[in-house]
Amino acid sequence: MNILAIESSCDETAAAIVRDGRQCLADEILSQADMHAIYGGVVPEIASRNHVTAISRLASSAVRKAGITKRDIDAVAVTFAPGLIGALLVGVNFAKGAALSLGVPLIPVHHVRGHIAANYIAFPQLEPPFLCLAISGGNSLIVDVRGYTDMHILGSTMDDAAGECFDKAARVLGLPYPGGRPMQELAEGGRDDAYVLPQAHIEGRPYDMSFSGLKTAVVNLAHNAAQKGEELDRAGLAASFQRAVSDALVPRAMAAAGELGYDTVVVAGGVAANKRVRADFEAACRREGKRLFVPPLRLCGDNGAMIGAQAYYEYLAGARAGSDLNAYATMEIDSPLLKY
């Protein structure tokens, strides 16, 4: 089954051709990061307008690079939640038109479910059930993946997502947007015990997280140093920050996997590209005898392949959408709207 998959939830426009949920025949991605860098974050209106100009061209390119024709497309899939509403609507409306013109089913896909499914492209042997930590600029979730479309949230951030915290801390340190890679590169020259940073714990909710206090601590350290005329150990603060983020994520995910009795741990989303997080998960899984699956860097960020992969299993579960499909800025990964 060949699925044309569309992703436009934030500032990447992507179109991919995925076969049977596991094989990516083509994946075209156009990043707008450089356009938004001067603003220090994504400007929704600019993102939406650029999706409009790029989406048709990328879809055509994906079909061509996959070595198929439009007649070979069996379904069209699209991210419909969550994300920037204007950006989502560009993808949803394009996908509606494509499905209608091709006479094929339209499959709605939840963005975070797509991130999890990126691992199906990278690791054909991976099958549920497993414990997944989904970490990105907009989400930080510990998910019990019981089946391809049967998921339950065990824990989530109470405020900022881990990726958002990276971006805000990077800005304070004078680093460009997006902040993940610059923070990682700066941290490589510092000690991760240079600064003691806070760890949040929510009473009675061991798997929930909070990153706002960590962000505020970095801001205060930087501002206090500037006000006193003291030199800030920027590399040490970046390294200490990475350690604090990883220490908030890895132990919780491992504890959840242990409680559920799972021997497989999966990591997904943009923050999964971080070297410190990946290394700490590798060490923890070796220590506890668990299998770890983390997608290659190209599949950590937003892409069409992950949407096509998840769409295949949503299709098997009966997911279909019509011309009335809407986009949603927020939606839980286990929302009743995702029950078919």
Domains of the chain with bracketed CATH: 2-116+299-338 (3.30.420.40), 128-297 (3.30.420.40)
Q: Distances in Å between the alpha carbon of 248 and those of 70, 112, 142?
A: 46, 20, 12
- 3 state DSSP class of 44: helix
Give the residue among 277, 265, 339, 332 at the shortest CA–CA distance from 110.
332
Looking at residue 38, its pLDDT comes to 81
DSSP sequence for 239-253: HHHHHHHHHHHHHHH
pTM: 0.95
Q: What does the pLDDT average to over 165-183?
A: 92
Looking at residue 233, its pLDDT comes to 96
Predicted confidence band at 36 (pLDDT cuts at 50, 70, 90)?
A: confident
Query: CA angle 276-277-282, nearest 5°?
Result: 95
Task: Report how far residue 218's alpha carbon sits from residue 267's, in angstroms, rounded to the nearest whole number.
Answer: 26
DSSP sequence for 65-85: HHT--GGG--EEEEEEESS-H
Q: What does the pLDDT average to over 264-274?
A: 96
DSSP sequence for 116-145: HHHHHHH-TT--SSEEEEEESSS-EEEEEE
Looking at residue 44, its pLDDT comes to 87
Predicted confidence band at 137 (pLDDT cuts at 50, 70, 90)?
A: confident
Question: Are 314 and 107 within 8 A, CB to CB?
Answer: yes
Looking at residue 72, its pLDDT comes to 98
Question: Are 209 and 200 within 8 A, CB to CB?
Answer: yes
Task: Report how far residue 292's alpha carbon sits from residue 266's, in angstroms, rounded to the nearest whole number.
Answer: 6
Condensed to tens digits (0 to 9), the pLDDT of residues 98-117 reads: 999 999 999 999 999 999 99
Condensed to tens digits (0 to 9), the pLDDT of residues 150-162 reads: 999 999 999 999 9
Residue 340 pLDDT greater than 80, yes or no: no
